[in-house]
Amino acid sequence: MNHQPPEHAPLTQFAVHNDCLQIGGMPLTHLAQRVGTTPFYAYDRQAITDRVKLLRQHLPPEILLHYAVKANPMPAVVQHLAGLVDGLDIASIGEMNIALDTVIDPGKISFAGPGKKEYELRCAIAAGVVINIESQQELETVARQGMEIGSTPRIAIRVNPDFELKAAGMKMGGGPKPFGIDAEQVPSILAQLGSLNLDFVGFHIFSGSQNLNTEAIQQAQQKTFELARHLADYAPVPVKSLNIGGGFGVPYFPGEQPLDIAVIGAHLHALMAQVKWQLPEATVALELGRYLVAEAGIYVCQVLERKISRGQIFLITDGGLHHHLAASGNFGQVIRKNYPVLIGNKVRETESEIVSVVGPLCTPLDLLADRMQMAKAVPGDLVVVLQSGAYGLSASPTAFLGHPKPVEVLV
């Protein structure tokens, strides 16, 4: 028996010509010239468009697609997605302002997250954004502010479900959570709505993130619909909108495989047939972050030095954890694993070696690749971290050590 260590799933979203990765329809080396400086993040417009097309092809046509801006808030990316999806989900005033600059109708923007500030809520009410209510206090604040402003706030109740998304990379529902209102408390919240000046539109039920297990996703969707149907009995008016979360994962690490969207789509077709008669007035939205953008993005840095320390080869680059915390293994990973990393201008090079890719920060945490097989690189070569279009720059401690911020481009 031959026990090979697990490998990264083959990633085919970018073509390779003459040994060089192509992004935005041009060779990476050319793009690096165009950007004028390294490090940078590049997001491929066509790859994002293709991803939305793939979803539309397999999901029931009546399912609305929302983009969770948190995954990549670069305004150009959000603008591009606004032309492709049906709604945007935001979690701060900063994201709200980016979303309100797009063509998306404010009624198709929903505002989630614990600890929304009073001024953020006022702005959301004035804009007509749907506020996902996450606590009794928030309900009261929003109702009062609606009176003060003289408009009726649009609200949905964010429910902390009484089940967990099994096998999710990040659990965001089930058990005690700061997110949403516990499912068992929702009936008493709904009972108050009749006497408050609020426009109740429905429920938001988000159970977890980064799930690569098709069966677990199907089960969570089924339970989400059951919970929504149960809670709808307590609502003062018929449920008009149901946001069922998302949680679709992408393969980052060795051994992980991409989701089979056809299978998930087929199951949703069956579920939607039930939902249509159980919640006849409800539109159903799926809210996706990383699944829409992660694979369309790369992080690019340049080799400054090839250094050998006691037999181990280090590529010292101008990029690092201050730009890409997730690739360094310090954004939620328990055991550090390598992202897919390659030499972007030597993709098919046959001469390879085992190297570690590090950055310029004075900490051993500043590691982009730990002993990976890679093309033999020299100073000036371009190191590419794939799967970097989500939770990259905006989830990184850019101020740490005072190096300049990387550029971001949508190509």
Ligand X SMILES: *Cc1c(COP(=O)(O)O)cnc(C)c1O
Our CB check for ligand X shows the closer of 20 and 133 to be 133
Name the minimum Å distance from CB 290 to ligand X.
Answer: 4
Our CB check for ligand X shows the closer of 186 and 390 to be 390
Q: Which stretch, 19-27, 222-230, 251-259, 286-294, contacts ligand X (CB under 6 A)?
A: 286-294
Q: Which of 21, 63, 198, 288 binds ligand X (CB under 6 A)?
A: 288
Q: Where do the H-state alpha helices sit in 210-339?
A: 214-232, 261-278, 290-293, 325-328
Q: Answer yes or no whether residue 161 interacts with ligand X by CB under 6 A.
A: no
Q: Answer yes or no whether residue 389 interacts with ligand X by CB under 6 A.
A: no
Query: 275 φ, ψ to 5°?
Result: -60, -35
Q: Answer yes or no whether residue 174 interacts with ligand X by CB under 6 A.
A: no
Orientation of helix 214-232 relative to helix 186-193, angle to 10°:
40
Q: Which stretch, 32-40, 231-239, 281-289, 304-312, contacts ligand X (CB under 6 A)?
A: 281-289
Instruction: Give the burial string for 54-82 (b: 16+ CB within 10 Å, else e).
Output: ebeebbbeebbbbbbbbbbbbeebbebbb
Q: Answer yes or no whether residue 196 interacts with ligand X by CB under 6 A.
A: no
Our CB check for ligand X shows the closer of 287 and 295 to be 287
Task: Tell me the per-residue interface mask from 96 to 125 with ligand X, x by CB under 6 A, - otherwise.
Answer: ----------------x-------------
Q: Token pair for residue 229?
A: 């149907």
In the region spanning residues 68 to 87, those forming contacts with ligand X, defined by CB under 6 A, are: 68, 70-71
Our CB check for ligand X shows the closer of 144 and 177 to be 177
Cα 297 to the chain's mean position, in Å?
Answer: 12
Q: Which of 44, 287, 295, 408 binds ligand X (CB under 6 A)?
A: 287
Which residues are CB-neighbours of 290 under 8 A, at least 6 positions away?
71, 209, 210, 248, 249, 250, 389, 390, 391
Q: Answer yes or no whether residue 291 interacts with ligand X by CB under 6 A.
A: yes
Q: Answer yes or no whether residue 289 interacts with ligand X by CB under 6 A.
A: yes
Instruction: Give the burial string for 230-266 (b: 16+ CB within 10 Å, else e).
Output: ebbeebeeebbbbbbbbbbbbbbbeebeebebeebbe
First to last CA, the chain: 46
Picking from 335, 375, 339, the residue whose alpha carbon sits closest to that of residue 355 is 375
Our CB check for ligand X shows the closer of 260 and 281 to be 260
Size of the site for ligand X (CB under 6 A): 16
Name the minimum Å distance from CB 220 to ligand X.
Answer: 13
Q: Answer yes or no whether residue 89 interacts with ligand X by CB under 6 A.
A: yes
| Residue indicated by tokens 């929304």 | 116
Can you give the binding site for ligand X, defined by CB under 6 A?
68, 70-71, 89, 112, 206, 209-210, 245-246, 287-291, 390
